[in-house]
Structure 1
C-alpha cells in the first residue's frame, strides 16, 4: 500500500483585491487563514520537532518546525540552509549505525533511531528519530518526513536503572559469597563439634590394631625361632625318629596351631579396623570439601552413609539408626551441600532424644522427585516456635552449644536445589523432617 501524504502550504493566503467579491469568498479566505494559523500553532507547540528532507544523497532538510529553537536552540531556517546540518550534529559514535541501515528506509518505508544530537550549547542530548518515506503515485520516493523527540530524561533513567542493576548484581554476588563463607563456617563448626567424637571413633580401631600388631610381632618372632630350631635339626645327622620327636616337642612348646589360628584373626580384625579408619577419614574429607560448587549426578544413599560415618559417635549412645532405603536414581545436585543438610538433621535428631530412642532414615522416589525423611522419637518441637525454626541464628540450645544456622542454611541449600523441606512434630512423640529434591533442579520453576 502506497504512503499517502497531504502537503500543507504554511504561507498565509493573500486576501483578494478590493473587488465586488462575494461574502462567501471572503468567508472562505478567512477560514483558510484560521486553519493555517491553527496548523502552525499545533506544529510549533508539539513536543516533537517535525521535519522533512530529500530522499537522496545527504538527506538535506527542506523543512524544520520552529519549535527546534525551543528544543535544540537552533533557528529552523539555519537548519534548512545547511545541507549537512543533520549529520554534522550527530555524535560520531552514533553515525555508523545510522549510515549502515539508512538504505533500509527505501525497502521498509519506515525507520526509527535513537542517537545523541549536539544542541546549540554544545552538549549532546538523546533524540528519538522516526522517519517515514513518502512516495508518489508511481511509487517514486519524493520526500522523507520525520519527528525528533528529546528522550534525554528517559535515557538518564535507563542509565540510572542499569547502574542500579549492576550494583544489585554486585551486591547479590557479595551476598552469595557471604552465604558461601557462612555455609563453610557452619560446616567447619559442625565438624569441630563432632571432632571429639570422630577422634574417639578413630581411636577405637587404632587401639585394637595397635594391640594386634604387638601380639602379631611376638607371634612372628616365635615363628622365626621355631623355624631356626627346625633348621638346626635338619643339619644334625641324628636318627629320623629322634628328629620327629624333637619337632613335635617344638610345635607343642610354641603352640603353632593356636598361633596359626590367632594370626588369621588378628590380621582380619586389624584390616577391618583400618578400613573403618579409612572410611571415617574419607567421609570427613568428602564432607568438608572447601568451596565445592560442582553440580553432579550423585548417589544420595552413598552421601547419607558417608555422613552417618561422621556423626555416628554423636548418635550411637543415644539412638539406634534404622535405614529404610527405597530405590533412588542419581540426582543432579551439589552432593556436599546435601550431605550437610542430612548431617544437620541427624545431629538435631540426636539432640532431641534425651535418653535412648530411634532415628529412622527413609528414602523414596515418586515421579521426578526423590525424598529423604529423617524421623526421631525425641521430645518434639513446641508449636509456638515451629514457625521460627528456619530463622537464622534462632536456637533453643544453650549458649555455646550451637550457632542457630543449621536449619536456616539447610533451608537455603534445599531452596537452591529448587526443592522443599517439610516438618511434622508432636510433643513427646518426635519430629520428622522430609526433604524433597527434584531429579533435575534446572527443569523446575523456582517460583
Structure 2
C-alpha cells in the first residue's frame, strides 16, 4: 500500500507565533482529531503533533516530541499489551484501529479512538506512521451506561420471569388444592358408605361361612344327604370360594383404605386453605409427598427413611412439599433401573436439614453450577422444563434457607435442604 509523501517534520506542528499559519496548518490545528506522526520502528517516537494536542490532552506538542517514549508511556497499562502485540500488523495491513485510555496532563484517563496508517516511500519502504486521535470518552461513558442498563434490564427480565414462574407455580398449587378439596368432597362420601358396606359384607360372609359349617355338621350323620350334596359342593367349588371370598373382601377393604390415604395425602400435600406461615411437621409433609409419588418410585426405587427428631418449623408447608416432590422425583428419574433413595433429617443448632441422597447417575461437574438456573435441564427434550430446581431454590431462599448439592457421576447425588426453625423477618410482599 502506497501513500503520497508529505512534509512530516516537527516544524509543521510546532510553529513560531510570528510565522503566519498556512491554510493546511490552520485546518490541522482545528480539526476535532489530534494528528500525529511517528517513526515506523522501535518505540514509534513522535515526529509531528498537531497544536490541538494542548486542548485535548493538556500537553504542548514540543514536550510530546521531545520524549521518545511519550506515546507508549501514556497508554493505560491494561491497554498497552493489546496494542503492542498487534502493532506489527500495521506493516502487513497498512492500517490499524485502536480504542484505549490515554493519560492527560492532569492525570485523567481519556478514552481515545486511534487510527494508524502506514506511509511508504516511492520504493515501498516504510516511511512513517500517521495517527488520528479522537476523544471518545463521552461515547464510552454512554456505552458503559447502556451496558449497565442492559444488564439491569436483563436482571429485571430474569426477576420478572422468575416471578411469573412462581406465580404459575402458586396457581398450580392452588389448583391442586382445589382439586384435592373437590376429590375429598366428591369421593369421601361414597368411599365412606362403600367402606361401611364392605365392613357389613365382611360380617355377612363370616355368618354365611359359619352357617355352611353348621349344615356340614348337621348332615355329617346322614350319608344319603352327604352323597346328594357332594356334587353341589364340587360344582360350586365351595372349598375354594370359602377361602377366596375372605381374601377378596379383605383386599377390597384395604384398597378403600388406600384410596382414603391418597386423598388425605393430597390434601396434606397441598394444604388446602393454608396460605399463611405456620408451624409444620416436616416428617408429615415428607410422608404425604412420598404417598403422592409412590407410583413413580415403586418399580425401581427403595426409599429408606432415616428420620431424626425434628422440631416444628415455621414455614409454608405446601411450598416445602413442592420442593420435596421435585427432589424426590428427580432422584427417581436419576435411577435408571434399581436404586436406593435415602431421606434423612436432623437438627444442627437453630437449623433443621433434610437430605435426599440417591444412587443414581449423578451430575457432571460442569453442570453443577447451572442446575438451579431457570430452564436449564440435562433431560431429553420434552422430559422436563428445567424449572423444578429453580423454583425449589427460590422457595427455600424465601424461607431463609439454602440447598447444598454434592454429586459423583455414576455414583449418585445428594441434595440437602437447610431451613431455619424460625425464618427471618418477612416483608408484606413475600409470597
Question: TM-score, with normalisation over the residues of structure 1?
Answer: 0.49
8 A contact 1:51–1:145 mirrored in 2:
yes
Query: Shift of the alpha carbon at 1:270?
Result: 7.3
Query: Shift of the alpha carbon at 1:41?
Result: 1.0
Query: Shift of the alpha carbon at 1:177?
Result: 2.2
Aligned to 1:131, the other structure's residue is in SS state strand
Picking from 84, 99, 105, the partner of 1:120 is 105
Query: Shift of the alpha carbon at 1:122?
Result: 0.7
Unaligned runs of 5+ in 2: 13-18, 271-291, 294-318, 327-380, 388-431
Residues 38 and 258 of structure 1, relative CA distance in 2, 3 Å threshold: same
Distance in 1 of aligned mates of 2:185 and 2:196: 16
Match of 2:77 in 1: 92
Picking from 128, 134, 139, the partner of 1:143 is 128
Note if 1:38 corresponds to 2:23. yes
RMSD, matched Cα = 4.8
Match of 2:199 in 1: 214
Distance in 2 of aligned mates of 1:271 and 1:2: 97
Query: Shift of the alpha carbon at 1:173?
Result: 1.7
Residues 240 and 137 of structure 1, relative CA distance in 2, 3 Å threshold: farther
Aligned to 2:36, the other structure's residue is in SS state strand
Alignment of 1:121-200 (within 5 A): 121-200=106-185
Aligned to 2:118, the other structure's residue is in SS state strand
Larger Rg: 1
Distance in 1 of aligned mates of 2:57 and 2:384: 59
Distance in 2 of aligned mates of 1:157 and 1:135: 38
8 A contact 1:208–1:270 mirrored in 2:
no
Following TM superposition, the consecutive aligned residue runs of length 4 or more in structure 1 with deviations greater than 6 angstroms are 226-234, 245-251, 255-286, 333-337
Query: Shift of the alpha carbon at 1:189?
Result: 3.5
Distance in 2 of aligned mates of 1:119 and 1:220: 104
Note if 1:102 corresponds to 2:68. no
Aligned to 2:22, the other structure's residue is in SS state helix
Query: Shift of the alpha carbon at 1:97?
Result: 1.0
Picking from 42, 47, 52, the partner of 1:67 is 52
Q: How many residue pairs align between the two structures?
A: 273
Picking from 68, 76, 86, the partner of 2:61 is 76
8 A contact 1:111–1:132 mirrored in 2:
yes
Aligned to 1:174, the other structure's residue is in SS state helix
8 A contact 2:99–2:111 mirrored in 1:
yes
Distance in 1 of aligned mates of 2:386 and 2:110: 54
Residues 62 and 249 of structure 1, relative CA distance in 2, 3 Å threshold: closer
